[in-house]
Chains A and B, each alone.
Chain A
Amino acid sequence: NAGVTQTPKFRILKIGQSMTLQCTQDMNHNYMYWYRQDPGMGLKLIYYSVGAGITDKGEVPNGYNVSRSTTEDFPLRLELAAPSQTSVYFCASSPQTNSGNTIYFGEGSWLTVV
């Protein structure tokens, strides 16, 4: 019953530090996504991937990087953390087969940059 697993759950970073949010899924989904959710706001797509070796920018990619070396893993890298990156980050995955498939979310990673 693992689904989409994100680590860490909570993290405090100092301005200028870097870190990686880990995401793994065990459902053999081709599509994976990273979203951020700011307080009282909806979800904004940061990066997505349609398969191993393929990544693309979403709506708000600046300050982030991703890689997809395997189907299971889709880490999100924050370089030179800024207070504007304080947010809740959600990783998600979805099957490829057709557009009617749902998207499955991880439990979220709460990041504070001070």
Chain B
Amino acid sequence: AQSVAQPEDQVNVAEGNPLTVKCTYSVSGNPYLFWYVQYPNRGLQFLLKYITGDNLVKGSYGFEAEFNKSQTSFHLKKPSALVSDSALYFCAVRDYGQNFVFGPGTRLSVLP
């Protein structure tokens, strides 16, 4: 069965510094990987996805993610964090049954 792990409940970073939010996955075939962001009292919004091709995927709001097949990871990154990036981030994998499996979420706090 597919699964997603986000090893950090909370990530704190200073504004202007690079940020990384970690995600590892387990799938039986080729992975379809996604990152979503949730702002307070809102639904989840799509950031980016990896389907195939380039291991570095660029998405919304300056975020990017690096797919690493050997480490089964899909870490979310941004070169320079903004206070407005503070939110809850979810990694997800989509299985063959078309259902999404979400990680537990990582709360990102960007400190001014």
Contacts and interface: CB of A to CB of B under 8 A. Distances in A.
Interface of A: 4, 31, 33, 41-43, 45, 48, 50, 58, 90, 92, 94, 96, 99-100, 102-108
Interface of B: 32, 34, 36, 41-46, 49, 51, 90, 92, 94-96, 98-100, 102-105
Contacts of B49: 100, 102
28 contacts: A33-B99, A33-B100, A42-B90, A42-B102, A42-B104, A42-B105, A43-B44, A43-B90, A43-B102, A45-B100, A90-B43, A90-B44, A92-B44, A94-B98, A96-B98, A99-B96, A99-B98, A100-B94, A102-B46, A103-B46, A103-B92, A104-B46, A105-B44, A106-B43, A107-B42, A107-B43, A108-B41, A108-B42
Contacts of A107: 42-43
Contacts of B95: 99
Contacts of A96: 98
Given A90-B43, A105-B43, A107-B43, 15 more contacts: A31-B98, A41-B105, A42-B103, A43-B90, A45-B100, A48-B99, A90-B44, A99-B96, A99-B98, A100-B49, A100-B51, A100-B94, A102-B46, A102-B49, A103-B92
Tell which of A90, A96, A100 has the most Cβ of chain B within 10 Å: A100
A64 B92 CA distance: 24
A104 B41 CA distance: 16
